[in-house]
Chain A
Amino acid sequence: MASARTLFEKVWSDHVVVEETADTPAILYIDLHLIHEVTTPQAFNVLHEKGLRVRRPDLTLATMDHSTPTTPVTSFKDMAVVVGENAANQVRRMQENCDAFGLELLGFDSDQRGIVHVIGPEQGATQPGKTIVCGDSHTSTHGAFGALAFGIGTTEVGHVLASQCLLQRKARTLVLSIDGDLPNGVSSKDLILAIIGQIGVDGGTGHVIEFRGGTISAMDMDSRMTICNMSIEAGARAGMIAPDDHTFEYLAGRPRAPQGADWDRAVARWRTLKSDDDAVFDKSVTISADEMQPMVTFGTNPGMVIGVNDPVPDDDGDPSFRKALDYMQISAGKPLTNTGVDVVFVGSCTNSRLSDLQQAADVVEGHKVADGVRMLVVPGSQQIKKDAEAIGLDRVFTAAGAEWRESGCSMCLGMNGDTVNSGQLSVSTSNRNFEGRQGIGARTILASPMTAAASAIAGRVADPRPFISKGK
């Protein structure tokens, strides 16, 4: 049936200002533009030079997260000492640009500040059916709500600021159907790592992925955000999940969500946002969650991933593969479980939400971080920090010897001075194990919050399941 459409096609066609032709891309309207300090200054410079205004300040939401310190500081002067002069200058420039263009900034002194992909949903600004963009590849996170959300470059940030639109070619579609129950000790992080391992770091290039199936339906919103967050690590343009009652329950009552009669109308509209039964996708992949294990990466991209007890595969003569193992100082043929750990990072837009911190705390509780291991726990937002402290998670971490920090991107990419030293091995709940991502010469193993926490206690890469089955 020609009229059957995918979720992506429904949201896409709802935002087309000018249809695409063979000669010209579509003009696509953007409902929410999230901005942060790193990828906007050059875009604001263009607006200044051309004498342009921000077309829709009301659809623009600003925060600062990448260059901000995760230790408590109260002034820009103090900040420069912690994060360096350039990073502090970038934060100050964000404040100046938001003032100059009349933009709302959840700034350094705001208790709503946090990682841009954490606060959008938390504030209820992220909603089903919206188009959402940000100068950050992990904008795919917001697709967990049935939004079409994707990362853009700084030139395009300027386009959206000035016109509230983007020039876009329609992406192809890939459906990933996942059924089965994730076993105890296995999280959505393990699932998305396994998916990337299966389809490859370029398996989604040119496509918008729709995740669906019983495993996804059973997941809470935090877990769904982790899945969509790492769609970009499979090369996808975006990841999407059809909204359902989990989505509506999460959003109900949040400050920027519709209220009262508007809420009822919105939910009625949101319920139509799912792929039609006979909708056709360009590609289709099926995955079972039943046999899933905790996953860990062993190389320098997220597709180089194995079950925590599986041996590291051989390079098979692939020089890039061998180069990755050399960089990681890891040999093929053995599992990673005896590999010593120097740093454990729990945080990032992938895994810094309250349930992520709770899962890590459940493993840590009653244990000590192993001698010589530094464990850093960085909540995704100031609100999550407050919520976690209200239920005592901060005390679980600090009693174990971990550091409990202010919110931000922190050690995911080390822009703010939170870095892993050269040669050190880090087990990280973030999204990229690229060479040098967490610091010059840093060796990163990506894992779930449970696996990261278990590794901090064991002092080596560890399967979290023995820690969980002890009646916690």
Chain B
Amino acid sequence: MNPVTRIQSRTVVLPTTDIDTDQLIPARFLTTTSREGLGQYLFHDLRFDASGNADPDFALNKPEADGCGILVAGNNLGCGSSREHAPWALLDYGFQAVVSTEIADIFRNNSLKNGLLPIVVDADTLQYLLQNPGISLDIDVAQATLALPDGKTIEFPIDGFARHCLTEGLDQLGYLLQHETRISAFEASRPWKP
């Protein structure tokens, strides 16, 4: 994973609440055995009609959405399935961060594991972002701050360990495997065996 330290990009906005992972990437695209190239399926059934024509009214299809790296969405983004294909598709499409007032547990966890930054903000900040699509944000991961174009800076919560792994580009599996001795000792010491 590449280190993620600073994200400077414009936003694209989807005000809908409870955007689930089936909308992020429909299940029929999960028959892949690779994590590459899933951006083409991101929001597939919202971006395209049944004949494969792009819906010009969908936010991601608008010309001004080109190059936007930050997705701002209504409350409870990423609810539903545990499919990691959702953050894989967002990253492959070009997103680096997602912002909402609430981000579902498994999706948030999957995002952090892949270098997609999930940012939870308060309701007023979300309202501002939803009402001002396309503005540039400057996100400092180490400081856990998000700067608005008017210079106002907002802190967001992020687990210290997850932040460390993001900014250093660390693979958490390596950290786990360093604890092999402790894991073996735990197995040996258990009063019952699974």
Contact = CB atoms under 8 A, between A and B. Distances in A.
A130 interface: yes
A415 B31 contact: yes
Contacts, number: 175
Interface stretch (B3-11, B135-143, B147-155, B173-181): B173-181
Interface in B61-103: 74-76, 79-84, 102
Interface string A1-40: 0000000000000000110001111010101100000110
Contact of A320 (B16, B81, B172): B16
A23 B160 contact: yes
Contacts of B102: 202, 205
B110 A237 contact: no
Given A86-B32, A87-B31, A163-B176, A235 B82 contact: no
B26 A163 contact: no
A45 B172 CA distance: 16
A284 interface: no
Contact of B18 (A67, A201, A415, A437): A201
B53 interface: no
B176 A152 contact: no
A137 interface: yes
B20 A432 contact: yes
A38 B183 contact: no
Contacts of B80: 137, 232, 432, 434
A434 B22 contact: yes
A435 B84 contact: no
Interface residues of B, number: 52
B114 interface: yes
B33 A320 contact: no
A181 B179 CA distance: 49
A397 B16 CA distance: 40
Interface stretch (A164-172, A185-193, A211-219): A164-172
B27 interface: yes
Nearest to B113: A155
Nearest to A200: B76
Contact of A153 (B33, B76, B109, B186): B109
Given A17-B182, A67-B31, A167 B175 contact: yes
Contact of A27 (B17, B31, B82, B179): B179
A123 to B, nearest CB: 14
A159 interface: yes
Given A130-B194, A167-B175, A422 B110 contact: no
Contact of B33 (A32, A46, A90, A436): A90
Contacts of A434: 20, 22-23, 80
A202 to B, nearest CB: 4
Given A434-B20, A434-B23, A441 B114 contact: no
Contacts of B32: 41, 86, 90
Contact of B28 (A22, A42, A89, A415): A415
A135 B82 contact: yes
Contact of B84 (A67, A155, A232, A301): A155
Contacts of A413: 22, 27, 81
Interface in B143-194: 159-161, 164, 172-173, 175-177, 179-180, 182-183, 186-187, 192, 194
A235 B104 contact: yes
B31 A436 contact: no
Interface residues of A, number: 71
Contact of A152 (B22, B27, B74, B82): B82
A414 B26 CA distance: 10
Contacts of A266: 192
A29 B186 contact: yes
Interface in B24-81: 26-28, 30-35, 45, 50, 74-76, 79-81
Contacts of B26: 436, 440
Contacts of B31: 38, 67, 84, 86-87, 89-90, 415
A18 B182 contact: yes
Nearest to B74: A320
Interface string A67-84: 100000000000000001
A154 interface: yes
- By CB atoms of chain A within 10 A, which of B27, B80, B84 has the most? B27
Contacts of B172: 155, 159, 167
Nearest to B191: A269
A17 to B, nearest CB: 4
A22 B162 CA distance: 12
A124 interface: no
B176 A162 contact: yes
A88 B78 CA distance: 28
B113 A156 contact: yes
B15 interface: yes
Given A42-B34, A319-B15, A414-B27, A153 B22 contact: no
Nearest to B34: A42
Q: Which 7 A-B pairs have the closest CB atoms?
A: A31-B194, A41-B33, A86-B31, A153-B110, A153-B84, A151-B82, A155-B113
Given A25-B159, A441-B50, 10 more contacts: A27-B182, A29-B183, A42-B84, A45-B33, A136-B82, A137-B82, A202-B75, A319-B16, A422-B50, A436-B23
Interface of A: 17-18, 22-25, 27, 29, 31-32, 38-39, 41-42, 45-46, 50, 59, 66-67, 84, 86-87, 89-90, 93, 127, 130, 135-137, 151-156, 158-159, 162-165, 167, 169, 201-202, 205-206, 232, 235, 237, 265-266, 269, 301, 303, 319-320, 323, 413-415, 422, 432, 434-437, 440-441
Interface of B: 15-18, 20, 22-23, 26-28, 30-35, 45, 50, 74-76, 79-84, 102, 104-106, 109-110, 113-114, 159-161, 164, 172-173, 175-177, 179-180, 182-183, 186-187, 192, 194
